Each structure stands twice: as C-alpha cells, then as structure tokens.
Amino acid sequence: VVYLVVFHLSFVMFVWSYGKTIFTSPATPSNEFCLSKADKEQYEKEERPESQQEILRRAAKDLPIYTTTASRAIRYCDRCQLIKPDRCHHCSACDVCVLKMDHHCPWVNNCVGFSNYKFFLLFLMYSLLYCLFVAATVLQYFIKFWTNELPDTHAKFHVLFLFFVAAMFFISILSLFSYHCWLVGKNRSTIETFRAPTFRNGPDKNGFSLGCSKNLREVFGDEKKYWLLPIFTSLGDGCNFPTRLVIMDPEQLAVSSQNEPAKSSVANQSFPTRPLSESQNRLLSGDCQWVETGPEEENVKSGAKKHIIVSLES
C-alpha cells in the first residue's frame, strides 16, 4: 500500500509540475514599458543612434530600470518595440520579450522565466525523485539479473532497460537540478551567469542577490506550505526587482560612518526615487535604508557626485 501511494503521489506531482511548466505562458512586460505612439514614430524617423537613445532615455526616466547594455545604452527591443525591464530578454523561439528569462527549454517547448520558473524547479525535483524511486525499486531485480538468480524470461531485459534509463535520467537531472538550486541561492538566471547585468557602477553578477533566504522566498514565496505545490507564489511582478546595488565613493562612506551628525543633517532631505520592488516588496520591508547627500539638482549644479548608500541586512 505504501509503495502504491508513494508511486502515484510522485507521478501525479511530476505530471502536474511538467504540465504547468509547459502550458504556463511566458510573462511579458506591461504596457508602461511600451513607447507612446509619438515616441515610436520619432524613434523610427531618427537615424542617429544618439538621438534614438535620447528618446529612450526620456521614455525610461520614470520606469524602474537600473540595468543597461554593456555600452551603457537603454535596453530596447526592436522586435517588440518596448523598453526592456531589468532581467527581461527577447526569446527568438517564442518571438516575445520574457520577464526574468532563464532560457528556452526544448524539453518543455516553452520559455522558462518569471511566470513558470518555480514550476520548472519542481518539475526537476519530482522527476528526480521519480527516477530515484524507479531505480531503487528495480535495483533488487537488477542485482538478481547479474547474479543469474532472475528467471530466464523476456522480463529480465525489461528490468535491465528500466534500471539503466532511470539511473541515466537521475544522474543528468541531478546535475541540472543542482545547478538551478545554486542559481536560486545566488538569485541569478542562466543568462545572467554567462553575462552579468550592467548597472550604473558596471557589471555586477550579484546585483540582484539579497541573501540566500530572501532569494529563495523571491522564487517560492512567503508561505512555505505552498513551496512544494505547482502553484504560482513567486514575489513581485517580474518587471522590477530589489537590488543590492551600491553607488558610492569609498571615502564618503568612511566619513559617513564616523560622522553621526551628518546623518541627522540629511534626515530631512528628499529620498531618491526607488523602484516599486524596493518600496513595496516584502523582501526589503524594514531592511533598506537610503541616505542621500543632497537633492540631485544641487549636486548637478555643484559638480559633486551623488552618493547613495544602500545597506541590506543579510
């Protein structure tokens, strides 16, 4: 009875996760990232890249975008005609921009991204457990086959085939699942592993990492009772993400840490504009402090650098 219950439960969860990974449509950017009709027409008329970038900068000034291309340009998709949110990439197979795109998986014939990344992880985990369960069940008959204790029937070849297939899939899936567990702990996608996102202070492969615990919650949600179920519980909207980006002058940081009155002197200053993910996301509630040396306009006039210190508790 226990054997049948475990077998059917693992099989049901495997099929459920696999189906959710396949049939969940990739999440795409919201309309706020699309250019207005006037900006789109002006962008298409311009021939100089500098003028096109100026149009994109004006359109993106109020958007929660903190990453750029390697050449410091606004990330824009000519195919979808929209400004790419952070961690968003265009999939040539699906021909859409996918939020927090990890990769296009041929095994599920779908993009793995923000909308179905949790389902993909559960699919790997339950397929891993299913292969392990099958291999462990057939192991005793496999041993009898090699010791010539198994009756000489056609079934012995079925046992041999089943054990080798389960063992081979277990080894291959184990390596893939381990790799994605490491990615979750680092809060990276497969694309970001090979090409680090570029922030205002340069490429930073750990720019979106908030610590292992918070990274895990960002994918699986706050309710642990739903972690093992193929139900969407990921935090955020996929368009903007909290970051641990630090833009500061090291000397200024040392002065700020030693001069307590300096903190009170800027207490009444206006705070810099923060993305929705940092002002509303539960991952950073109560854990994020912002300090600015002065209004941005005054810093530009005086030629001084703008210093923003973001401290995140691990």
pLDDT (0 to 100) of residue 274:
38
Q: Does the model's pTM come out above 0.85?
A: no
What residues contact 97, with CB distance under 8 A and at least 6 apart?
28, 29, 77, 79, 80, 82, 84, 88, 89, 90, 91
Q: Indicate whether 170 belongs to any domain.
A: yes
The alpha carbon torsion through 274, 278, 279, 283 (nearest 10 deg) reads -170
pLDDT at 1: 65
At residue 139, the pLDDT reads: 85
Residues 6+ apart with CB under 8 A from 134: 162, 166
- What is the pLDDT at residue 271? 25
Q: What is the pLDDT of residue 300?
A: 33
d(CA 80, CA 84): 9
Q: What is the pLDDT of residue 245?
A: 60
Does residue 267 lie in a domain region?
Answer: no
Check if the beta carbon of residue 139 is closer than 8 Å to that of residue 166. Answer: no
Asked if residue 191 belongs to a domain, the reply is yes
pLDDT mean for each 10 residues of the chain (314 residues):
78 94 95 93 91 94 92 94 96 95 94 97 94 87 76 74 90 96 96 93 92 95 95 94 60 38 32 35 37 35 34 35
In the three-class reduction of DSSP (H, G, I as helix; E, B as strand; rest coil), residue 97 is classed as strand
138 in a domain, yes or no?
Answer: yes
Tokens of 313: 């508790």
The three-state secondary structure class of 181 is helix
3-class DSSP assignment, residue 82: strand
Q: How far are the Cα atoms of 97, 186, 233, 286 from residue 237, in angstroms, in the given order?
A: 15, 19, 11, 20
Where in 176-296 does DSSP place strands (E)?
198-199, 202-203, 288-292
Token pair of 103 as six digits = 């990769």
Looking at the structure of the chain, the number of domains it has is 1
Active site residues: 105
> Would you state the pLDDT for residue 264?
33
pLDDT attached to residue 176: 96
Cα torsion 40, 45, 50, 55 to 10°: value is -20
* Residue 56 domain flag: no
Domain region containing 214: 1-27+114-248
